Amino acid sequence: MPAERKPSYLNFDTEKYHWKQDIDYKNNPEKYRVGKGEQGVLICEPYKSEIGRFWRFKTPAIAKESSEKILEMFHNYILDNDFVGADMARKYLQMGYTRARRYANYKGGKKYDRNKDYKPLERGTGSAEKAQSAEIFYSAYKLAAAHPIYQLLKADWKKRLG
């Protein structure tokens, strides 16, 4: 199997990864980088602890409650002019979508078989319920990403800090 088809977490180099667990990004926001997609979402404290405890997608009802709470947090971060918090909330909404989709596509959410040299598992074996959860998170994610103040803050942040 070609190397590019294997999971990205294999041979992951934590030293080269920009986000660090020992940084308080609320007290040191200048060290935060927007990055690509969901990068840093499971590392950046205190936002990981603030937002992550509400991140759930087991059923559509749970996903609705979770995405609404995280979107509310997103808006509160915007009101507080806390771009890092808003970006992290947006990332959790995006991750709600991508992780629920993974479970919708693959039984148990597992994409690769570690016992067979990380060969991709059969797609289409997942849960229709998780597909509904994914759509709920996707709608909330798109609302956050399109928020005009968030877009201005993000453009300014990337220009100034990366």
Structure tokens at 4: 């590019």
* pLDDT in the model for residue 40: 86
Long-range contacts of 124-131 (CB under 8 A, 24+ apart): 126/102, 127/103, 128/104, 129/59, 129/60, 130/57, 130/100, 130/101, 130/103, 130/104, 131/100, 131/101, 131/104
* pLDDT in the model for residue 9: 57
Report residues of the chain scoring pLDDT below 50.
1-4
Taking every pair of Cα atoms in the chain, the longest distance, rounded to a whole number of angstroms, is 49
* pLDDT in the model for residue 73: 98
* pLDDT in the model for residue 6: 65
Q: Report the alpha-carbon distance of residue 96 to residue 102 in Å, rounded.
A: 10
Q: What pTM did the predictor assign?
A: 0.85
* pLDDT in the model for residue 157: 95
Contact at 8 Å (CB) between 143 and 70? no
* pLDDT in the model for residue 1: 40
Picking from 123, 14, 144, the residue whose alpha carbon sits closest to that of residue 69 is 144
* pLDDT in the model for residue 115: 76
Picking from 24, 12, 89, 48, the residue whose alpha carbon sits closest to that of residue 32 is 24
Q: Report the alpha-carbon distance of residue 58 to residue 32 in Å, rounded.
A: 30
pLDDT (tens digit per residue) in 137-162:
999 999 999 999 999 999 999 999 97
3-state SS class at 110: coil
* pLDDT in the model for residue 2: 46
Q: Report the alpha-carbon distance of residue 19 to residue 44 in Å, rounded.
A: 7
* pLDDT in the model for residue 46: 97
Q: Report the alpha-carbon distance of residue 149 to residue 74 in Å, rounded.
A: 11
